[in-house]
Structure 1
């Protein structure tokens, strides 16, 4: 059984980042919208190599998500299917599904706009602002996530990622990796 606290976190990711068309479920069109949003944020057009890289990565993530979470095979991932899948992850976070690992890496690389191997507060808050979150809240979330440090490395991010999807502690730094300051 997923606690109310963890459910709120899972729904934040579902609603803010995956269900881009606000249909109440996740389908391929949500990923097409995410590709467009991210490309717009970075200034890439459809023919650019980076655009194609993002498109390839996100469609691979969609394929993995759909194949594992879409239990009823209707072409959509419902809220219940989403929560169930992440509950399974929380039982053994050291053995993520391939798409979950790809998504973690994708998010880190998206946030590390400079490509220097670390995320800083400006990079972090700019990404979340492009997804419609409040930039000041995202900066506050970054300060919590980074424990006051100026940046977060890839290895730190991976641990924070696991924490987000597994912890019941509302003050855990991992709770802030998706730009929200409070749950």
Structure 2
């Protein structure tokens, strides 16, 4: 784990602590998915919403909850950072650790269902839901659109998430995926 990863994880933590109480709880994780569902204008009882909610419940149960060292049902920044240090050691584990939730988010952010996330979709979801300012969204999107197509395909999106959680390159475009990381 590097200082850069600590900064990125801290940025992710601030976004995941939806209610701002200094902890990530199962309710925060549910609120994250509810925000995406609401911003998309999708009814909570649709298949997409159910898949996202199930994926986020799995993310809580399999990734976040095991970080709760003191068993109080909530994870603070220290517990989360130490937990990420323990579990995010090998990018080869991405398919089981993060890919299912990333697929759900991709489908949710792909508002028109064309299999790509264009800049407007990216900005709408990351600005209104994740609280990433619009100007940061535009810069991050441009950097992540590696082939210059004007849209992120599923592979580019997965590459960005992998780079965010596992990467150590201070110049990597995905460092700011969940908001500007200042070191």
Matched, 1:155 2:155: yes
Tell me how far apart the structure 2 counterparts of residues 181 and 106 of structure 1 sit (CA, whole Å). 23
Residue among 4, 7, 23 paired with 2:21: 23
In the other structure, the counterpart of 2:169 is 169
Tell me how far apart the structure 2 counterparts of residues 168 and 99 of structure 1 sit (CA, whole Å). 18
SS at match of 1:119: strand
**Greater relative contact order structure (CA < 8 Å, 6+ sep):** 2
TM-score normalised to the size of structure 1? 0.84
Note the C-alpha offset of 1:90. Answer: 4.1
Note the C-alpha offset of 1:119. Answer: 1.6
User: C-alpha offsets along residues 106-136 of structure 1, whole Å, 9 cap, x if unaligned?
Assistant: 2322222222222221111111111222112
User: C-alpha offsets along residues 7-43 of structure 1, whole Å, 9 cap, x if unaligned?
Assistant: 1111111111x11001111111212322331222022
In the other structure, the counterpart of 1:62 is 60
In the other structure, the counterpart of 2:122 is 124
* Unaligned stretches of 5+ residues in structure 2: none
* Unaligned stretches of 5+ residues in structure 1: none
Q: Quickly say closer, same or farther: Cα 1:10–1:66, change in 2 above 3 A.
A: closer
Equivalent residue pairs, number: 180
Note the C-alpha offset of 1:49. Answer: 4.1
Tell me how far apart the structure 2 counterparts of residues 30 and 144 of structure 1 sit (CA, whole Å). 29
Q: Quickly say closer, same or farther: Cα 1:97–1:62, change in 2 above 3 A.
A: farther
